[in-house]
Amino acid sequence: MTDAAPRRFSLRNLWRTTTVRLTAIFIAIFVGFAVLLLGLIAYQTSVQIQREQYRAVEREVAQIRLLSSQSSVRAVAFAVQRLADRPGPGIYYLGDPTGTMIAGNVSDFPTAVISEAGRFELEYQRGREIYGGPEEDVPTHGVAIVESLELSNGLRLVIGRDVGERRGFNAIILRTFFAGALGIIVLSLIAGGLTARYVLRRIDGITETSSKIMSGNLSERVPVTGRDDEFDAVATSLNAMLGRIEKLMVGLKEVTDNVAHDLKTPLTRLRNKAEAALRDTDPDRQRLALETTIAESDQLIRTFNALLLIARAEAGTSTGAFSRIDLSEIVADVAELYQPVAEDAGLGLETAVEPGLTLDANRELIGQALVNLVENAIKYGQSAEGDGSITIAARREPGRIVVEVADRGPGISEADRTRVFERFARLETSRTEPGAGLGLALVAAVVHLHGGTIRFEDSAPGARAVITFPAG
């Protein structure tokens, strides 16, 4: 057997953890989504700014066109210059048909822009002396979108907007995106590393506990932090399983010891009787020895059959399928069967069975459990005066069915009321009474197989076995 080594936290095995891999996948998904989202926002914002710029250009073009149709050239030139003198990204040019600039803040346009009507995107040089303000207030060159047209009075008008503001906004979004994406990646890696370290530590605790258990220390348990998280839930479940395994292993050891102790004597007796029969020449004594050997063998077979039945019942595998049975009928049949046996033992047998009690169970196992209880009551139910009585009762209570077998014997001390259900448990230490101490162990296994409980109570005087089955 190879002990499982705890997987310690290190950079080498960090990527091997599911937590880090899932974190990396989530980071990639999130960053990809953030890229798409920010890209869409930047694109929509740029488009919207461009639309607003075009609308502003169209409004001003419409105003100047209307003014040129109603006023003189001087009034138009005054209006264009007033727009050009305002601080901002506006681009303005008003020229005569020969190309001479009359008003505006940009004079250097390509010939095609001046001579042809339409929309253009171009690089420009802003005329500083025309603008009339401090040079640092506005850019002296850049890229602009403009609309060129010829007015009704023959003048050439160009109005536009600098697109540097829009591109600057896009640059801010791009820088913010890269900073945010970098921050997301760094923080996610830190969070993934801390989470992986925490997960590995919890898993190491489970692995170390498993290693100690495999080395023979069955009392070890997985540590529980008390946070009531999923790891605590797993640890609690594992601890319950380990407790059950430890209990089974202890029980197996006790059974092995008890089998070795309780079966050694009858086996030795069998051997001695067989050896004596071989030496004896009297046919009658040989026959008696053989009959005794057969009886002893039958008792051993019954003991092993009982052990096998208990093991199957505790493992949850019964000898037959469950079906709907009439418990009242089974209790009545057992009482009727043992009525003569009780009378021969000087005991009375009374019944108080409620009719129509049914449950899903294995008929043979339930019958065997009741038989064992009745036989135990007959065996130990006599009072000090040599008389007594046995009562078998079955009734329905809210949510359950109760079966009781009570006697008037010496009873069972409170300290022994749990021990009597163990294999090979015998309250009479001399072990002169027949039996192997498996009857009540079989009863407990059968009751637990059917989801019920069993306990002994004081019957004052005597003992009362109380079985409770869930009402189906």
> What is the DSSP code (8-state) at residue 389?
E
Q: Flag whether 222 is in a domain.
A: no
Same domain, 153 and 169: yes
Instruction: For residue 395, give the CATH number of its domain.
Output: 3.30.565.10
Same domain, 79 and 155: yes
Structure tokens at 180: 């945010």
Same domain, 291 and 364: no
By residue range, what is the domain housing residue 461?
318-470
Q: Flag whether 198 is in a domain.
A: yes
Distance CA 84, CA 66 (A): 18
State which of 213, 247, 280 marks the end of a domain: 213
Same domain, 93 and 3: yes
What's the pLDDT score for residue 131? 39
Q: If you average pLDDT over residues 280-292, what whole number do you get?
A: 79
Q: Flag whether 394 is in a domain.
A: yes
User: Which residues, including other chains, have CB under 8 Å from residue 363's CB and lie 6 or more apart?
Assistant: 320, 323, 325, 330
Q: Flag whether 76 is in a domain.
A: yes
What's the pLDDT score for residue 78? 92
Distance CA 361, CA 384 (A): 38
Task: Name which residue leads in pLDDT, 168 or 85.
Answer: 85
The tally of domains found in the chain comes to: 3
State which of 312, 340, 360 marks the end of a domain: 312
Q: Respond yes or no on whether the N-terminal peptide bond of residue 470 is cis (omega within 30° of 0).
A: no
One-letter amino acid of 456: F
Same domain, 388 and 458: yes
With pLDDT > 90 as the criterion, what percentage of the chain qualifies? Answer: 1
Q: Is 271 exposed, middle or buried (0-12, 13-18, 19+ CB in 10 A)?
A: exposed
Task: Name which residue leads in pLDDT, 81 or 1.
Answer: 81
Same domain, 109 and 68: yes
Q: Flag whether 151 is in a domain.
A: yes
What are residue 390's phi and psi, to 5 degrees? Answer: -120, 135
Of 410, 333, 415, the residue nearest 374 (C-alpha): 333
Q: Flag whether 276 is in a domain.
A: yes
Q: If you average pLDDT over residues 198-227, what whole number do you get?
A: 81
296-318 residue pLDDT tens: 777 777 667 666 666 666 665 55
What's the pLDDT score for residue 277? 77
Q: What is the secondary structure of 428-457 as a DSSP string?
A: STT--SSS-S-HHHHHHHHHHHTT-EEEEE
107-118 residue pLDDT tens: 778 888 888 888
Distance CA 388, CA 98 (A): 139
Q: Is 274 helix (H, G, I), strand (E, B) or coil?
A: helix
Same domain, 80 and 189: yes
> Would you say residue 3 has pLDDT above 70?
no
Same domain, 308 and 326: no
Of 388, 403, 382, the residue nearest 334 (C-alpha): 403
One-letter amino acid of 409: G
Answer yes or no: are the C-beta atoms of 6 and 199 closer than 8 Å.
no
14-47 residue pLDDT tens: 666 676 777 778 878 877 887 788 778 878 877 8
> Would you say residue 137 has pLDDT above 50?
no
State which of 156, 181, 213 marks the end of a domain: 213
Strands across the sheet with 90-95, in order?
101-104, 90-95, 156-162, 141-150, 118-126, 106-108
Of 342, 423, 333, the residue nearest 376 (C-alpha): 342
Per mean pLDDT, which of 233-237, 259-263, 316-320 is the most reliable? 233-237
What's the pLDDT score for residue 216? 77
Same domain, 277 and 378: no
> Would you say residue 71 has pLDDT above 60?
yes
Same domain, 58 and 125: yes
Side-chain-side CA neighbours of residue 346 (13 Å):
12
Q: Flag whether 225 is in a domain.
A: no
Helices (H) and strands (E) in the chain, counts: 11, 13
User: Which residues, including other chains, have CB under 8 Å from residue 299's CB and lie 6 or more apart?
Assistant: 266, 434, 436
Same domain, 387 and 327: yes
388-425 residue pLDDT tens: 788 889 999 888 899 988 888 777 777 776 777 776 66
What's the pLDDT score for residue 317? 54
Structure tokens at 431: 């072990």
Distance CA 294, CA 287 (A): 11
Q: Flag whether 141 is in a domain.
A: yes
Same domain, 369 and 280: no
| Beta carbons within 10 angstroms of residue 28's beta carbon | 12
Q: What's the Cα-to-Cα distance from 164 to each of 111, 139, 212, 423, rounded to whole Å? A: 23, 9, 71, 93
